[in-house]
Structure 1
Amino acid sequence: MNKLMLTTAALGALAVSGALSGTAHAGDAEGRLQIKLLATGVLADGKVTAVKNDSAGLVAAGAVKDTKANDNVVPTVAIEYFFTPNVSLETICCVTAHHVTISSGSLAGKVAVDNVKIIPATLTAKYHLPLGAIKPYVGVGPALFIVLSDEPSALVRSVGVTRTHLSSELGVALQAGADVALGNGYSLSLDAKKYWVRTDATFYAGSATALKTRHKLDPWVVSGGIAYRF
């Protein structure tokens, strides 16, 4: 699935490039607006940081000690506005899907939460170094991880869990990358972001809380693709 999504994003970038080639004269390397079509790898780096409720005794019994989300590759659109040649504001749009696996304890290797879909809504202020055709940049800004959906796996359903909930929360992102000019407003874009975000994972048995844990969600998000500025 990851290879398919990566291929789709790459083909999409080529399609946009081809569609705009007929109006390439409209591109402007110093324009105010830049749009990027990227293939993005979401590299999960999380763990349990606290146990808030263990009514079911899953942690106390050693069944669950830590968890890990899988990596994913998704297509991403970024929109950037330049206030000056060196200062810009950028936002990204994508939906990333994961499952959460128990990484230690007697149930290690088993899936705990399925079909987790997250929008990592991010807004960064960026500073671009004026180095000619290659423009490196750094950025920082808030990130709101919006959890669209999640559901208990077959394993946790079998022990009485009827519903799961991952909280949507605000964090921060640091960013670095470079745009390499290709001409006519086009550039090759390479980007990396490091996020620091937390979430509460709650497992319900009916209306009662069976388990509630605090997690860090600190992924690396790396992207590459085509940018068009005008």
Structure 2
Amino acid sequence: MRKRYALVLAGLFVAATAGTAVAAEYDRYERGPRGEYPVEYAPPPPRRVVEAPPYRHPVRGQGYFFTHLGIFDPNNESDGLAGYDAGSTFDVGFGSRVAPMFAFEGTFGAYGADDGSKEARVVPLTLGARLIIPTPFIEPYLGAGMGLYFSSLDEPATTGFSGIDDTSSDFGGYLSAGLDMWLNQRVALNFEGKYHFVEPTFQINDGSDVDVNLGGWTVNFGVRIAF
């Protein structure tokens, strides 16, 4: 009887020992060769995000120089430049990009038109601002400004008209719209349309005064260079 109990106990001991060995081997297999438990469900890799192209326009606070050449289209008002042919225009100026959407600038330029022997010339000296839509390459904008307009008008005498040959200095202003096409961070091609508002008073040769509208559109193509 005791022999039977001894055999049963020996069998239980062998079974327990074998079970422990199997469990240890299974645990070692589950942990891996370095002893760490593998991650059963690894998170998916992050999605690749397409990076936006870098901006080419000047950074905040950066100054710039610009210049334009273009065509002056005179107004067709009876008290202005009706009958005058299209003329030419140019301007140069400096500005500063004080914010991504805003810039201040000062401009010096000239425009004029002729009608046979008649000549009208205007030299604006203005301060203005531009509201810009920032994009990486092509930036549309709207602008406005005001300043001194130095003008001259030469119209020979005709029947019933004694003629004008006078100069004047007056306050005027402009509205503009355009776009910059940035080639790199410092250089952009520029296209701009600008309407000038100025109505100087000239003295007719008989001594009376007359107000003449010397405003009109200038259509310009030029370059903007940041520094």
Compute the TM-score of the two structures, normalised by the length of structure 2: 0.64
The runs of at least 4 aligned residues of structure 1 exceeding 4 Å deviation read 157-160
Alignment RMSD (CA, Å): 2.9
Tell me the CA shift for residue 152 of structure 1: 4.2
- Number of the residue aligned with 2:195: 194
> 1:173-207: per-residue Cα shift (whole Å, max 9, x none)?
111111111014111111111122212232114xx
Residue 34 of structure 1 contacts residue 80 of structure 1 at CA under 8 Å; is this kept in 2? yes
Corresponding position of 1:95? 110
Residue of 121, 126, 131 corresponding to 2:125: 121
Does the CA contact (< 8 Å) of 1:46 and 1:218 recur in 2? Answer: no
Q: 1:75 to 1:142 in 2, by over 3 A?
A: closer
Q: Percent identity, please.
A: 19
Q: How far 1:166 sits from its partner (Å)? A: 4.5
Letter in 2 for 1:204: N
Give the direction of change, closer, same or farther, for the CA distance of 1:161–1:182 in structure 2 (3 Å limit): same
Q: Give 5+ residue unaligned stretches, structure 1.
A: 1-26, 51-65, 102-109
Aligned residue identity for 1:98: A
**Equivalent residue number for residue 217 of structure 2:** 220
Higher relative contact order (CA 8 A, sep 6+): 1
Q: Deviations over 1:9-35 (max 9, x none)?
A: xxxxxxxxxxxxxxxxxx973261111
Q: 1:226 to 1:192 in 2, by over 3 A?
A: same
1:34 corresponds to: 64
Matches within 5 A, 1:60-209: 67-99=82-114, 101=115, 111=117, 113-114=118-119, 116-147=120-151, 149-153=152-156, 156=157, 161=162, 164-205=165-206, 208-209=207-208
Q: Mark the runs of 5 or more structure 2 residues left unpaired by the alignment.
A: 1-55
TM-score (norm 1): 0.63
Q: Structure 1 residues 160, 81: closer, same or farther in 2, change over 3 A?
A: same
Q: Which amino acid aligns with 1:91?
A: G
Counterpart pick for 1:45 among 75, 79, 98: 75
Measure the CA separation in 2 of the matches of 1:75 and 1:92. 10
How many residue pairs get matched?
171
In structure 2, how many angstroms separate the alpha carbons of the residues matched to 1:144 and 1:136? Answer: 27
Shift of 1:217: 2.6
Deviations 1:17-76 (A, max 9, x none): xxxxxxxxxx973261111122122111142449xxxxxxxxxxxxxxx84433212332
Structure with bigger strand share is 1
